[in-house]
Structure 1
Amino acid sequence: MNQARDQFETHVNQARDHFDQANERIKQRTGRDLILAIVIGVAIGGALVASLLFVKWLFLVFALAAGLLGTYELSRALRGGGRRIDVVPQLIAAASVLLAAASGGFWLSWVLLIVGVAFVTVWRMVAQMIAKDGRTYGAVLGDILVGAFVQVYVPFLTSLAIVLLNRDEGEWWVLSFIAIAVAADTCAYAAGLAFGKHPMAPRISPKKTWEGFAGAVAGALGLGVLLAIFLLHLTWWGGLILGASILLSATLGDLGESMLKRDLGIKDMSSWLPGHGGILDRLDSILPSTVPALALSFLLAPWIGS
C-alpha cells in the first residue's frame, strides 16, 4: 500500500509539473495566466447564466454594473492616452441610457443617448473654455468625438442587451448571443494555440491567426445551429445566420478594441479581472454583438417554430 501510494504521489507530482510547464508556455505566449483566467471566467459565466435562467431581473444588475464600470474603464484609459475625457459626466450620461433601457424604453434610450452625447460635449467645451490652456481646436474636437464614442460604444450597446432581455423570451436570446460570442472567442484561442501559424491582422493584433479564426467559425456556426433548434425554436438555417452574424460582430469588435489599445499603447484596459485584463477586455466581442442579436430577434421572429 505504501508503494502504491508513493507511485500515485509521484504520478500526481509529474502531472502537476507538466501542467505547470504547459501553463507557463501559454502564459509566455499569450501573457495570460490560464488557470486563473479559467477560474474567473467560469465563475462569472456561471453567475450570468444563473441570472438569466432563474432570476431574470438580476441580469439587469450585471448589465448596469458592466456598463458603468466599462464606461469608467474606457474613460480612464483614454485619459491616460492624452484625451480630455470627463469621467463624472460620462458616468451620469451612461447611467441615464442604461436606466432608460431597463425601464423598457427602447426609443427612450435612443433619446437619452443623444442627450447624453450633448451633455458630455457641452461639459467638455465649457471645461476647456475655463481651462484656457491653449489646447488646439483640432485636439478639442478630437476630445469631443472621443467622448461621444464612449457613450455609443459602452452604455448604448449595453442598453441594447437590456432591450433584448425585455422582449418575449428575451433571456434566451441574450444567453444565446453571449454564448456564441464566447464560443467564438474560446475556439479561436484554442485553435490559435494549437495550430496558429498565419497571422490574421499582424499590425492590429499579432497573436490572432487565420487558424484561430477557422476555429471561431466552427464554434460559432455549430453552437448557433444547436441553440437555434433547441433553445430559440428556430430553423437550422436561422441558427447559421445567427452564428455567422455574431461571429462577424464579435471578430470586428475584438479587432477594433485591439486597434484602440495599440493606439493607446496599452495591453489591457485595466487589471480588474486577473487573467483577463479589464471589463472591456471581456466585453470587446460581446458589446458589438448586441446589434445583430437584437435585429435578428425581430427579423427571425416569423420563422420561430417553422
Structure 2
Amino acid sequence: MTDASGQDPGEADQPDVPLTRRDAAEARRSVPAAAEPTAAFQAHVRAARSEFESQVAHARAEFEEANERIKERTGRDLLLATVIGLAIGAVLILSLIFVKWAFVVFALGAALLGIFEFSRALVASGRRVDLVPQLVVATGLILTAAFLDLWLHWVALFVAVAFVVVWRLVAQMAAHDARRYGDVLSDVLVASLIQLYVAFLASMCVVLLRQDGGEWWVLAFIIVAVASDTGAYAAGIMFGRHPMAPRISPKKTWEGFAGAVVAAMIAGVLLGLFMLGIPWWTGVIFGIVILVTATAGDLGESMIKRDLGIKDMSSWLPGHGGVLDRLDSILPSATGALALYYLFTPLVA
C-alpha cells in the first residue's frame, strides 16, 4: 500500500540512522587501510632523518677529533684558520681586481698592524720602541712608494731609518736613566729593523703594484706564497717525519718543504701561463724564487719570535696568530717578485 505521495508508509517511517551507522563503520574500517601507506612513509622519513642526524653527528665528531689532532700537532685551529684565510683572501682579490689602488689601503693597514704587534712584543722583551714615530714614518714610506722613482724610494728608506734612530737617541738622552750602552745600541738596531723588515718590504709591494699590470704580479706572488705554505702544511701533517730547522721552528719538516716545492712550482707555472703571460719555464723560476723568499721569511720570523720568547706576535687572527705571522712569508716575497718583474717583462715584450 502506498500513500498519496506514492511511497510505502513503512519506508517513509523507517529512520536513516542504521544506514548512517553502517557507513560510519565501513568508513572506520577503511581508514586503517588507507592510513597504512602514510604511516609507513612517515616512519620511513623518521628513520631516514634519524640516520642522517646520526651520520652528521658521527662526521662532526670525526672532524672535531681530526681538528684537535691537527691543533695539537701544529698549534692551529684548522677550521677558524680556513674561514679567516678565505675572508682575507676575498678582500685582497677584490681590491686588486676591481680597484687597484684600494690595495694600498689594505697593505698600509696590514703593515701598521704588524708594526704595532712587533713593537709591543719588543717592549715586552725589554726593548724601548717609539711607537708613534715608527707608525708615522712607516706610513710615509709606504705611501711615497706609489709616487717616487725606485732610487728615490731608497733615499726615503734612508731618511726613515735615520729619523727613527735619531728619535730613539734623543728620547734616551731625555730619559736620564742608567740604561747601559749595549741596551741603547740594541734599541737603535731594533728601531732600524722595524722599518727595514716591515715598512720597507711592504713598500716594495706597492712599488710592484704601480707597474703596468703590477696588480696581477702582486696577486700572483701572494697566491704562490700561500700555495707553498698550504703545501708545506698538508705534506707536513701527512708525511712529516724529519725536522727541517728544529732549533728555529720545530714543527717544520723536510717532507713539508717538499710539499711546498711541488705546490709553488705548480702554482707558478699556472699563474705564469694564464695570469702573467710568461713562458712556462719562467713560471717555474717564479715559483721557486717565491718559495725561497717565503720560506726564508717564515724561518726568519720564527727566529725572531724564538729570541723574544713568544709563540705568536698576537692573537688577533684566531687560527693564524697575529697579522705579522701572516705577513712573514709575503713581505720578503714582494722584493723577489719585483726583481722577477724587471727581469721577465722585457723578455715577454
User: With structure 1 as the length reference, what TM-score do the two structures score?
Assistant: 0.97
Which residue does the alignment assign to 1:268? 312
**Contact 1:109/1:156 (CA < 8 Å) preserved in 2?**
no
Contact 1:100 1:108 in 2 (8 A): no
Counterpart of 1:225 in structure 2 is: 269
Query: 1:4-23 maps to which residues of 2 (within 5 A)?
Result: 4-23=48-67
Cross-structure match for 1:296: 340
**Cα distance in 2 for residues equivalent to 1:44 and 1:280:** 14
**Alignment check: 8 A CA contact 1:172 1:232 kept:** yes
Compute the displacement of 1:246 (Å).
Answer: 0.4
SS at match of 1:14: helix
Secondary structure, aligned partner of 1:32? coil
Q: Give the partner amino acid of 1:196.
A: G
1:26 equivalent in alignment to 2:81: no
Percent identical pairs in the alignment equals 64
1:49 partner amino acid:
I
* Other-structure match for 1:78: 122
Question: Contact 1:185 / 1:216 at 8 angstroms: preserved in 2?
Answer: yes
Q: Give the deviation of 1:104 after TM superposition.
A: 4.9
CA distance in 2, matches of 1:96, 1:107: 16
What is residue 144 of structure 1 aligned with on the other side? 188
Q: Find the aligned partners of 1:90 and 1:137 in 2 and give their Cα distance.
A: 22
Structure 1, 144-153 or 125-134: larger mean CA deviation: 125-134
Q: Is the 8 A contact 1:224 1:242 kept in 2?
A: yes
Match of 2:159 among 100, 104, 115: 115
Aligned match of 1:53: 97
Mapped contact 1:93–1:113 kept (Cα < 8 A): no
| Partner Cα distance (1:262, 1:147) in 2 | 19
- Select which of 213, 221, 234 maps to 1:169: 213
CA shift for structure 1 position 72: 1.4
Aligned position for 1:135: 179
Q: How does 1:168-207 map to 2 (within 5 A)?
A: 168-207=212-251
CA distance in 1, matches of 2:101, 2:149: 16
Alpha-carbon distance between aligned partners in 1 of 2:169 and 2:305, rounded to the nearest angstrom: 26
Structure 2: distance between partners of 1:13 and 1:134: 63
Instruction: Give every structure 1 segment of 4 or more consecutive aligned residues whose post-TM-superposition deviation is greater than 6 Å.
Output: none
Would the aligned equivalents of 1:235 and 1:303 in 2 still touch at CA under 8 Å?
no
2:283 aligned residue (229, 235, 239) = 239
- Residues 238-293 of structure 1 deviation map (CA, whole Å, 9 limit, x = unaligned): 00111110000000100000010000000000111111111110000000001110
Residue 288 and residue 241 in structure 1: after superposition, are their counterparts in 2 closer, same or farther (change >3 A)?
same
CA contact (8 A) 1:173 1:232 kept: yes
Superposition CA RMSD, Å: 1.0
Q: 1:66 aligns with which of 89, 110, 114?
A: 110
Q: CA–CA distance in 2 between the matches of 1:288 and 1:237?
A: 22
- What residue identity is the alignment partner of 2:213? E
What is the letter of the counterpart of residue 139 of structure 2? A
**CA–CA separation in structure 2 for the residues paired with 1:205 and 1:168:** 38
Give the stretch that moved more between structures: 275-284 or 111-120: 111-120
For 1:178 and 1:236, how far apart are their aligned partners in 2? 18
Matched residue SS, 2:252: strand
Shift of 1:4: 1.0
Match of 1:44 among 66, 72, 88: 88
| Partner residue in 2 for 1:209 | 253
Residue 108 (structure 1) shift: 3.5
Shift in Å, 1:233? 0.7
Larger radius of gyration: 2
Which one-letter code corresponds to 2:319 in the other structure?
G
SS in 1 for 2:244: strand
Describe the SS at the equivalent of 2:251: strand
The counterpart of 2:203, out of the listed 126, 141, 159, is 159
Measured in 1, the distance between the counterparts of 2:316 and 2:149 equals 31
Contact 1:187/1:212 (8 A) holds in 2 = yes
**C-alpha distance in structure 1 between counterparts of 2:289 and 2:206, whole Å:** 19
Partner SS, residue 200 of structure 1: strand
* Unaligned segments of structure 1, at least 5 residues: none
Q: Which residue of 2 aligns with 1:124?
A: 168
Distance 1:44 1:139 in 2: 38
Q: What is the CA–CA distance in structure 2 between the aligned matches of 1:61 and 1:222, rounded to whole Å?
A: 30
Deviation per CA, 1:104-128: give whole Å up to 9, x if none: 5433332221111111111111111
Q: Report the counterpart of residue 14 of structure 2 in structure 1.
A: none
Q: Distance in 2 between matches of 1:229 and 1:286?
A: 22
**Partner secondary structure for residue 231 of structure 1:** helix
